[in-house]
Structure 1
Amino acid sequence: MSLTLRTATADDVDTIHGLMRELAVYEKLLDIFEATPQSVHEALFGPAPAAECLIARWGGEPIGYALYFHNFSTFLGRRGLYLEDVYVRPSMRGKGVGQALLRQLAGIAVERNCGRFEWTVLDWNQPAIDFYTSQGATVLPDWRVVRMTGEALERFANGSKDSKSSATPAS
Structure 2
Amino acid sequence: MMKKQFTIMAIALLLASCALAQFEHGHTGPKAHLRERISMIRMWKLVEFLDLSEEQSMAFFPAMNEHESRMKALHEHERRILDRIETILDEESPNRTALSAAVDSVMTLRDERTASKAEFIDKANAILTIEQKARFLLFDRIFEREINNIIDMGRPDGEGHPGRPSRKPK
**Relative contact order (alpha carbons < 8 A, sep ≥ 6): 1 or 2 greater?**
2
More strand by share: 1
Please say which structure displays the higher CA radius of gyration: 2
Give the TM-score of the pair, scaled to structure 2. 0.31
Give the TM-score of the pair, scaled to structure 1. 0.31
